[in-house]
Amino acid sequence: MSDTRRVTEVGRCIEEASFALIDAEADAETGPHAFSPAEWQVVRRVIHATADFDFIQALTFHPLALEAGAAALRRGAPIICDVQMVAAGLSPDRLATFGSRVSCFVAEDEVIRAAREANCTRAAEAMRRAHRLGLLDGAVIAIGNAPTALTAVQRLVCEERAAPALVVGVPVGFVGAALSKEAALALPVPHVVARGRKGGSPAAVAIVNALLALAAEGGA
């Protein structure tokens, strides 16, 4: 069953009204923005998921981010998440359309054991496990909760030549979150980053679901 068929008429009307309000209020609060039409589709979905217009200033797009992300999803690229909350929020119908597999290793016994031995976080070790399994190259990486996961990805890209198609770096928090995202802006691979403390799993989910919709529409 497609995403469209799952949504009731009432639900569709509410969603359309919400997006109309977001468009109107964004224009009233911040004036014309510099986002491309495809980028605005992503930004407005994040605002819809969080009710937070600060993401208009916080979200930063690498010039090739949406093109690379949508292309990767169309070819069924794996999606690597830092936490199960992100994995659980992704559209199963869209994923099935393209054949993308979602992986999150944070709860695996091997990851927990290795994290304890290395005195690091499970989220960071989970990204290293994904790399050892050969899953990062060409993947879409979605990080909404753990700054340490984003830092681990940055090191894997810069030091071990991991080559994800897109890094979505929007971890929320107070310890290391803003710093990890500022560092991620220098990634040599396409990325979407929410600067500052704000972010979270809902934001990461909204970004990837927006990319799935763009991929389905042939956009970006």
Query: Percent of the chain scored above 90 by pLDDT?
Result: 81
Residue 117 confidence (pLDDT): 97
Backbone angles phi and psi of 215, in degrees to 5: -65, -40
Q: Could you give all domains of the chain from N- to C-terminal order, each with its CATH number?
A: 58-217 (3.40.50.10230)
Reported as a pLDDT band with limits 50, 70 and 90, residue 11 is confident
Residue 104 scores a pLDDT above 90: yes
- Does pLDDT of 43 surpass 60? yes
Positions marked active-site: 48
- pLDDT of residue 31 exceeding 70, the answer is no
**CB-CB contact of 154 with 184 (8 Å):** yes
Vertex 215 angle, CA 210 and 216, to 5°: 100
CA atoms within 13 A on the CB side of 100: 34
